Structure 1
């Protein structure tokens, strides 16, 4: 404080943001079971891309090489001979390049997760550029990010300089919540519904362990018709031996 509340700094000297850096490192190095995607939003020109890129390069030293090899292989392998010929002689691909890249990234992320036991991370920089010309791409990327975070395959980080992105993403999020509420209502799992306490117990176990056995799920119900009613609502994903 001896130098006042406005220290003299060079215009080219970045101001350290240690808390933000540490938070970004946590995001870029997720554990085995991430359940979120992330949005970094702020005014244009405040250094969002600079900071996120700097932290990503630091983390990449530990993470990037093995995943990069996987991604390059999957991306090249994903282009069939027929698609290559069409591109060469007719001048167009059979699938939009960004969709093909996203699909290749998904495949590579699954390989990486199986091999290393942890999810990969993808960063979408300057995503606000899409909001006026291709907003549907943002919707697709957000839905994909949500689905693959649920599967613990990859974590997406969106960087935007416009609040419009957040409003659009909030709209998509609200759509998911509305659809989930419809399923919970159909299954009678909302507060004051007949199966509310049973559902609360099941969800509590799922939040802790991500899945439970079918027998453990079945113990929450005394009648077969009650069990079938909840399963038919598709609130829970059923797989042989487990409920998710």
Structure 2
């Protein structure tokens, strides 16, 4: 257990999973000690007038943190565990701060002062930080979707009949946040067709944001990637990137949550079952698939 460490506990971990798979919830359940929003407090404390954090003060903060970890170990005879949740938020907003956190965690992997746990959404695990992730003592821990059996058990416990539950599962798969959403709508009397239309409208918003709809900028390359995924279910990251003229475009589309990168296997898939349903049931050649 990462949050209840033993003497030989690895000192660098990366937990990855799509939004809505329950990463933060699981961490809160697993942690039995008081949780403090370290990054949240420091972001408020170290901001300048132009709202840009002072990097030098972050570096000072890391030295203080290292000292605190030494004191903690002396007092409790075990390592302090630091969880950096939602680090993907820093990729675009404060990449320098993310670099500082990772560099310190890399050094700590050798010095073994505290246990660092980085939690990120899969599509946002930045390739440029691959060297830092490689210092993790264990493989990436991926929090995935529920199995069909687990999903059906959940829907049945919500008092949704077997036939309706099966249709809901086939629509959204085992993504817990989506299961909760469709279960609540079903219990409120919404028809399956209305629920399905609402889910697919949200997918279409993602397709639009990724500029993958007909007459949009990335429509042609999007068709190629989608066709490949429909045939093989997953693509090696390098194979996915080869479809694009520029790596930054490949990353831009990946971050739009139509496709998902899984660092544990180094592959790209559809972001969710709902996305797969969208492209299976409607031809992307139709432009807006809900017209």
TM (norm. structure 2) is: 0.36
TM (norm. structure 1) is: 0.43
